[in-house]
Amino acid sequence: MLATIALSLKIVWSVAGLPQNLSQRDISSNSLSDYRGALFVVANTQTSCEMALIDSSAGFVAASCLTYKSNGNVDNGIDYRVAINGIGNDESKVNSVTMVDVHPNYNPSTYANNIAVLHWGNPKEISWHQDIGQDRTGWDSTFYTRRTMSSVSDALWSTPAVLTLSGSDAISGCSSASNLYSSNKDWFLCIAQTTTSITNGNCQTPYGAVWGAYQSDTVAVAAIYSHSSIYDGSELCGSTGNQYHYYTMLQPYVDWASKMTGRKVYTYAADSSYSYKGSSSFNMDNDLAPAVFGVTTVSGDLYPSAKEYKGPSGSSSNNNNFANGSGTTTTLPTENNSNTDDNTDMGANSALSSDKDDEDNENNKNDDNPDASDNLNVSENPTESGNNNSDSDKSINDGKTDDTENANIKDDMKNGSDSSSSSDDSGKSGYGGISRGAIIAISTIVPIATIIILVCLFFAYKWWKKRRNFRNWDPKNETSNIDCIRIIDNIGELGSTRTTIENRIESIRASCPPAYIEHEFGAISTRTSKMPM
């Protein structure tokens, strides 16, 4: 196993009045608060949904972190905000969201394309931007981060938790726990490690965002948390089986985000010749893949469910100063929490149990050890507008951009395109536990089968009717049939008394087809029964 590589983050920004050739400075590897990041805030309460910033007015967030109405549209009545961890002279702020774009192919049952873009501020006054990491084959190491705030109202941040994994680290079990992951391995990251929840010291929570490290001196945000697969349990807290946590890669959604924001989304790859041909209509493969049998899938804001969890001893949470509310993992809180300012920093990080293949993995370490990495180098340079891959190995660019045109900020948030954001335990629909794929199959097969049966019955009836007419009107007896009809229609000519007619009928019956004997002559007998003898 390769030893964990020391990481460094290079931050580049331009500040009005400062020279363009800024010098380097050193920072410690666990001081992620020095690197610009963000959290999704709902009703003045921080969530577990860490964001990936695009620039000073937009950022990525998991679509499952939003709240939806019964018709599938985003609930615009909720106070959505974005808390940004500022760096340098850029103060930390909490911004009100002005518009939401949910990916059109987001599936709230499988969490395929679990991505949305939040907008805030003035898009015509972009003061900095961040690069989105691409080409993970060029990563030497990976940062998994969990940012938390000590006070939302004062925009104060705690020391973030950081998990460092080497580029060669891999984990078994991820594919068998998620059909969606097994069909889209290029667009997901998967680990089993977690960190202590800020809402409950007895509960573990996945990390929030992923940063790719290139050649130990450049880092770019590359993925955000999507969902988790859980064995032997319905919640992350208290389950006794293995857990696997999946992170959506941002790379395939860059073109779509650029279309939504109306401006360029900057990217970074270590290889300057690297080129990814994306599409604004990107959709994951097998996005309707049902959940694996025996596996529960959770997503969205994980703090409310963690807060409600009682530890093995039955004691209540030892930290109740953060996320407010309770319910399913994707129902966001709606009440203000007056105790937010009194929160303590994160606890120790630990990893949940996994397959035997993972037990010897060196990456299941205590994430609170700040000495695990060396000091990191940071260079400060101005933003180079329009340059996709920085010539000086920049990964996070903060500075004045060229004038960019953007659509006007709308008063109302855009609606999402999916029917629900509820976290179905096994990725199934709400129809008695039947999977979405089964419902689609049934709704297609039943009408087709009904039509085929009706067509068969129609032709069977026509065949039967034809056979019946053929028997009733035998061409061989056509002359006799006509004679019988003529005689029957002119029964008055047979005689004036019943005795005369009945005698005549007996002679006619012998020459008429059998089909007429019972029906037609029975009618004649009825008619003649009223005649005089």
47 within 8 A of 303, measured Cβ to Cβ:
yes
Structure tokens at 213: 């490290």
Q: Could you state, in order of their start, the residue ranges of all structural domains in the chain?
A: 11-31+127-402, 442-528
E-strand spans in 286-364? 295-299, 349-351
Which helix (H) or strand (E) segment holds residue 522: the answer is: helix 514-528
- Indicate whether 62 pLDDT > 50: yes
From the CB of residue 25, how many other CB atoms can be counted at a distance below 10 Å? 12
Residue 264 has a pLDDT of 96
Q: How far, in whole angstroms, is CA 385 from its chain's centroid?
A: 33
Q: What is the mean pLDDT of residues 168-191?
A: 90
Residue 471 has a pLDDT of 59
pLDDT in tens, 235-278: 889 888 999 999 999 999 999 999 999 999 999 998 889 989 88
Burial grade of 23 (CB within 10 A; 0-12, 13-18, 19 or more): exposed
pLDDT in tens, 522-531: 555 555 555 5
Structure tokens at 454: 């009706």
Residue 480 has a pLDDT of 59
Percent of the chain with pLDDT over 90: 41
Burial grade of 451 (CB within 10 A; 0-12, 13-18, 19 or more): exposed
Q: pLDDT category, 102, cuts 50, 70, 90?
A: very high
- Indicate whether 343 pLDDT > 60: no
Q: What is the pTM of this model?
A: 0.58
Distances (CA, A) of 164 to 59, 168, 193: 24, 12, 11
Q: pLDDT category, 307, cuts 50, 70, 90?
A: confident
From the CB of residue 105, how many other CB atoms can be counted at a distance below 10 Å? 16
In DSSP terms, which residues pair with 73 in a beta bridge? none
Residue 239 has a pLDDT of 85
| Residue 224 backbone zone (phi > 0: left; psi -120 to 50: alpha; other: beta) | beta
Mean pLDDT of the chain: 72
- Indicate whether 98 pLDDT > 80: yes
Range with the poorest average pLDDT among 117-121, 145-149, 371-375: 371-375
Q: What is the mean pLDDT of residues 66-89?
A: 92
**Residue partners of 253: CB distance under 8 A and separation at least 6:** 60, 103, 113, 115, 282
Residue 517 has a pLDDT of 52
Residue 13 has a pLDDT of 32
